[in-house]
Structure 1
Amino acid sequence: MPIRSAKGGIVQQAADILRHQGISQFLFNAGGDMVCCGTHGDRPWCVGIADPFNPAGAHVLTLDVSDMTVATSGTYRRKWTFNGQTVHHIVDSYLGLPVQSDVVSCTVVHQYLVQAEVMAKVGLLLGRERGSAWLKDQTVAGWVLVLNTGEVIHSWNS
């Protein structure tokens, strides 16, 4: 069964339309899911990974990306208070409650955006230990986990 994702699929389709029109250098971003096609002039696209603990626009690191996609899933933006507790939008489908994870942000760099989006969500849901082990076994260009302690863990394939 193919992996499906609404936002990632729409962004991927829009990028495919641009490519079909002969446009070979662009960055298409939709809320943390992006297609980086070609380069930005003679340099790769520079993609910042947001610091979840500094809403002033700081980054925990930046990535140089060409001809790849980047997807980020996080619990630090879409949140609200419910019954006196802060909750977020990523729900454990078995419990029907916001997932409890020591990962607050997971970014995946992959050839295909929908796969990157799903892998970022899984990496976040699994948490540091299981998520990093699982991501190491996947075919990805790289990944970044930002933990609830502020620690940043990442891995890159050459």
Structure 2
Amino acid sequence: MVTLRVGRSVARWRVWSTSASVVVTEPATLATARELVEAELSEVERACSRFRDDAELTRAERAGRPVPVSPLLAELVGAALDAAERSGGDVDPTLGNDLARLGYDRDIAQVRPDGPAVLPVRRVASWRDVSLADGVLTVPRGVRLDLGATAKALTADRCARLVRDRLGTGVLVELGGDIATAGPAPDGGWTIRVRDRPTDPPATVRVTAGTAMATSSTASRSWRRGGQLIHHVLDPRTGMPAPRVWRSVTVCADRCVVANTHSTAALVRGADAVIPLTRAGVAARLVDDQGRVHVLGGWPS
């Protein structure tokens, strides 16, 4: 998912094996806006990257006991636990070991393209076993957290607010398809092109100031095991990739982390996703495994 606005007020680069974009309504602020976002991304990576031995989260997991953590890591873990509760456990951050077992134990660009088949195992932990209170985090011994379902989206929210507050400009921040906006929008709103993969059906929409959007996908971040194509969105009940009912789900909300919770949960729920999305009252666009598009909740035009 990329913005369509072009020119000097847009900066794009690669980070975390995905895209990053910053769009500002005041072109003179662009260079500083990018610096602010890049610094924030570095802080988040040091706090919770699953692929860094020196990450604060890794150290807390290894302790196997209550550990005081930084306000940033507490916010990131708190968002993951909130998403788990909001989704009834369908978005669960305790899947780090399961992802590693499936081969996703390093940056996606370095994951081996194929390997032996992987069978389901009995999961022994869930998000309810993780405790966070008053800045003290307790992760059961042997459990590894993966905050990927929420950390990127929360970071987009944080970056957009940071740029708005520091520079007084309207801003759109995109991190791998997770989009947050803050401050005034351009005339006519933010114009966004929605498409997960080059072969997927595209859509161009306009959204108002303060709107966030997230896309979750079973097509992106895929690799093979035992000759079968698997992906990174796991069903917490099995620790295995969710059935590929939907190629992608895009959701609009007032915060990107909320939109991402709904979009990720929809992939996990598969054919049962439509009713929860409707009840949540969010605008959503679902692309099924045949490439057909389904829209819900007043999807913007």
Aligned CA-pair RMSD: 2.0
In structure 1, give the amino acid aligned to 2:185: T
Q: State whether structure 2 residue 180 is matched by structure 1 residue 35.
A: yes
Deviation track 1:106-150 (CA, whole Å, cap 9, x = no partner) reads: 00000011111110001121124x21111010032x110000011
Deviation track 1:7-47 (CA, whole Å, cap 9, x = no partner) reads: 1121111111112124342110000101133323x121111
Select the structure that is richer in helix. 2
Which ranges of structure 2 fall in alignment gaps of 5 or more residues? 1-80, 85-149
Which ranges of structure 1 fall in alignment gaps of 5 or more residues? none
Q: State whether structure 2 residue 246 is matched by structure 1 residue 103.
A: yes
Within-5 A mapping of 1:7-22 = 7-22=152-167
Matched residue of 2:238: which SS?
coil
Q: Is the 8 A contact 2:233 2:267 kept in 1?
A: no
In structure 2, give the amino acid aligned to 1:35: A
Within-5 A mapping of 1:5-154 = 5-37=150-182, 38-40=184-186, 42-50=187-195, 52=197, 54=199, 59-66=201-208, 67-128=210-271, 130-140=272-282, 142-154=283-295
Identify if the C-alpha distance between structure 1 residues 13 and 53 changes in structure 2 by more than 3 Å, giving closer, same or farther.
closer
CA distance in 2, matches of 1:149, 1:3: 29
Identity %: 26
Deviation track 1:64-101 (CA, whole Å, cap 9, x = no partner) reads: 11220000000111111111111111111221211113
Q: TM-score, length-normalised on structure 1?
A: 0.86
Residue 53 of structure 1: CA displacement? 6.2
Q: Which has the larger radius of gyration?
A: 2
Q: Is the 8 A contact 1:70 1:113 kept in 2?
A: yes
Q: Is the 8 A contact 1:106 1:120 kept in 2?
A: yes
In structure 2, give the amino acid aligned to 1:139: G
Identify if the C-alpha distance between structure 1 residues 82 and 125 changes in structure 2 by more than 3 Å, giving closer, same or farther.
same
> Which stretches of structure 1, 4 residues or longer, exceed 4 Å deviation after superposition?
none
Matched residue of 1:149: which SS?
coil
